[in-house]
Amino acid sequence: MERPAEEILKRRLSPLALERVKSIPNPRLHEFLARYLELLNPEKVYVSIGTPEDLEYIRKKALEYGEEKPLATPGHTIHFDNYGDQGRDKKNTGILVPKGVDLGPSIETKDRDWALQDIQEIMRGIMTGKEAFVSFYCLGPANSIFSIPCVQITDSSYVAHSENILYRQGYSEFLRQGPDARFFKFVHSQGEVDERKTSKNLDKRRIYIDLEEDIVYSVNTQYGGNTIGLKKLAMRLAIYHASKEGWLTEHMLVMGVHGPGGRVTYLTGAFPSLCGKTSTAMLEGESILGDDIAYLRKKDGRVFAVNVEQGMFGIIQGINSKDDPIQWKALHSPGEIIFSNVLVTPEGKVHWQGKDGEVPPRGENHSGEWWIGKKDESGKEIPCSHPNARFTLSLSSLENVDPRLHDPQGVEIGGVVYGGRDSDTSCPVEESFGWEHGIITKGAILESETTAATLGKVGVREWNPMSNLDFLSIPVGRYIQINLDFGKELKNPPRIFAVNYFLKDANGKFLNEKNDKKVWYKWMELRINGEVGALETPTGLIPKYEDLKPLFQKILNKEYTKEEYLEQFKVRIPEHLAKIERVKAIFEEKVKDTPPVLFEVLEAQKRRLLEFREKFGDYVSPDQLTPK
């Protein structure tokens, strides 16, 4: 660096901002800020330490700079991304690796030397004439073994505002950890903006994750998945550190399931997109701790977890008053909420695909001025809201938020759940035989079928181990081994379950109703606490009919027939055998250093299935199974 960090900070910062930065006794932080403020060259810099005045300043700047506009409901604002900036940019997102490092074909990487030169050139002077916001956050609760302090530089008041809602303020955590703090760093610029205040130069959009320096770079983009660095981008940094330190960073919800006598049992759950993750986290009668990312650590032979975040950056499509009453209520109450890429009427009200009521005839949306029947350049009709339209809100605005959201100890985990979209193989809920069997047969070989909404072709099975493939920063084989090792030496490992909300009959009709999942989670809670038995199948343990019937009556006021049970929980041997062959081929062809135990466990499961087929035929009724 041409000048000492202190000299640069004195020149770049106001006296108050300089005092705030220098109060943190961490030279590496000072050097980072000096280096990038000099490179980015903002006209002025606002340093937020998370006071109410700081948060209000950023909220007002989002309106003043036109990145957000006020809506009719007090506290609600609307943000639009560029028409071509509506989702994660996988092509230009990559983990930076030195020459000779290979993370495998499933993980997008970039040559580190080339990428750093590329991003430095794009970022040089990109904030000239603009205001930069420096903010401090904490991933996980503060004052905790889970805490990871973070610092971000951005020229987007919308991004800073979003992160103030989604994450805990972290200035005090920097002060607590002092010069020894290991912290994550984020550098973002929306770049040049158009008349709608959306990023223009999408051809220069870049999202790079540098594991060596714990830095995330994001430029020429505003969409939250590319710019809210503490979310999935920081997840890659955390997975990398967790892999070396013996803990887990998982793409998981955390929820409290309420059992008899006021008991609360905490579960985590991993689901690919469009598989019911958020609707599960938001189940009525249960409590939500988090809907997206969890850190898991071992303490005293037990597993504890925290929600990395304190807010929700949720997909809004399909939310309605009947199926999503808690979210619906929050989204229609005054309070701090940012809507993005939905339809805004001239009266300042919002509408999205799947919302109650008729679609308004016209308004403004992600495409600009909009009316029913408007088409894009290719002649395709533009919907009233983008399929990936979002809302950003604090979990504290939800009536079912768990009181232990900010507990620095985390919550003890009794069960881990994996779920995917599966029309013909897995039953609605099943428990594994143990930790190793569960990690491999419920997590590592997780598949999910695509939908017409995603690829235009229904039923293509995509392999997605632990629903985390898109976010890994270490080889898949190593990641699976780390999950296996995590369960060792636990006094009472969490039970591992699989759920499937999408099982169909021969005519393509769903065998489960949307709310049946309430019963599956109550059954899991009872299993974890040793209060119900199970039936043993070649692939795991399933509920008994006599345990499910009263649960359906009590929870859903629904008559659950024996015929429904037998069809839902029969063992589908040909489909299970086909899945084993599919995933074995994937591991043999695509995964380096697959743990040998994975093939052993799959082979043992295959033998059990073949023995059952020899004894009972291709499809086995629960009536033929042995209680466990």
User: Who wins on pLDDT, 105 or 417?
Assistant: 417
> What sections of 517-595 are H helices per DSSP?
517-528, 545-551, 562-569, 573-590
| pLDDT tens digits for range 196-225 | 999 999 999 999 999 999 999 999 999 988
Q: What's residue 1's pLDDT? A: 42
**CB contact set of 443 (below 8 Å; sequence gap of 6+):** 270, 416, 418, 465, 466, 483, 496
What CATH number has the domain spanning 249-310+405-627? 3.90.228.20
Coil, helix or strand at residue 41: coil
How far apart, in whole angstroms, are the C-alpha atoms of residue 563 and residue 515? 19
How far apart, in whole angstroms, are the C-alpha atoms of residue 383 and residue 385? 5
Q: Above 90 in pLDDT, residue 504?
A: yes
CA distances from 156 to 191, 224, 405 (A): 9, 11, 28
What tokens does 210 get?
Answer: 């540098």
| Mean pLDDT (whole number) for 125-151 | 98
List where CATH 3.40.449.10 sits in the chain: 5-66+88-245
Q: What is the distance of C-alpha 493 from the center of its chain?
A: 24
List where CATH 2.170.8.10 sits in the chain: 313-397
What tokens does 260 get?
Answer: 């008899």
Q: How confident is the model at residue 2 (pLDDT cuts 50, 70, 90)?
A: very low
Q: Mean pLDDT across the chain, nearest whole number? A: 95
Identify the residue whose tokens are 């019963």.
519
Coil, helix or strand at residue 116: helix
| Mean pLDDT (whole number) for 126-130 | 98
| Mean pLDDT (whole number) for 67-76 | 98
| Mean pLDDT (whole number) for 133-154 | 98
Q: Above 80 in pLDDT, residue 370?
A: yes
Q: Above 90 in pLDDT, residue 628?
A: no
List where CATH 3.90.228.20 sits in the chain: 249-310+405-627
Note the pTM of the prediction, 2 decimals.
0.95
Q: What's residue 456's pLDDT? A: 46
Q: How confident is the model at residue 242 (pLDDT cuts 50, 70, 90)?
A: very high
Q: Above 70 in pLDDT, residue 36?
A: yes
How far apart, in whole angstroms, are the C-alpha atoms of residue 478 and residue 186? 27
| Mean pLDDT (whole number) for 251-278 | 94
Q: How confident is the model at residue 458 (pLDDT cuts 50, 70, 90)?
A: low
| Mean pLDDT (whole number) for 242-249 | 97
Q: What's residue 366's pLDDT? A: 94
Topology of the domain covering 5-66+88-245? Phosphoenolpyruvate Carboxykinase; domain 1 (3.40.449)
Q: Above 70 in pLDDT, residue 537?
A: yes
| Mean pLDDT (whole number) for 38-63 | 98
How far apart, in whole angstroms, are the C-alpha atoms of residue 263 and residue 260? 6
Q: What are the two backbone dihedrals, phi and then psi, of residue 332, each rounded to the nearest 5 degrees?
A: -115, 15
Number of H helices, E strands in the chain: 19, 34
Topology of the domain covering 313-397? Phosphoenolpyruvate Carboxykinase; domain 2 (2.170.8)
Q: What's residue 171's pLDDT? A: 98
380 secondary structure, DSSP code: P
- Between 573-590 and 596-616, two packed helices, what is the crossing angle to 10 degrees? 160
Of all residues in the chain, the percent with pLDDT exceeding 70 is: 98
| pLDDT tens digits for range 474-485 | 999 999 999 999
Q: What's residue 3's pLDDT? A: 66
Q: Above 60 in pLDDT, residue 455?
A: no
Q: Above 50 in pLDDT, residue 452?
A: no
Q: Above 50 in pLDDT, residue 65?
A: yes
Q: What's residue 210's pLDDT? A: 97
Q: Above 90 in pLDDT, residue 269?
A: yes
| Residue 384 known to be catalytic | no
Q: What's residue 151's pLDDT? A: 98
> What sections of 228-365 are H helices per DSSP?
232-245, 277-281, 325-331
How far apart, in whole angstroms, are the C-alpha atoms of residue 619 and residue 573? 6
342 burial (CB, 10 Å; 0-12 / 13-18 / 19+) is buried
Classify the C-alpha dihedral 318-323-329-332 as positive or negative: positive
Q: Above 80 in pLDDT, residue 457?
A: no
Q: What's residue 478's pLDDT? A: 97
Coil, helix or strand at residue 448: strand
| pLDDT tens digits for range 505-518 | 989 999 999 899 99
| Mean pLDDT (whole number) for 453-463 | 65
Contact 517, 594 (CB under 8 A): no
Among the options 138, 150, 275, 427, which is catalytic?
275
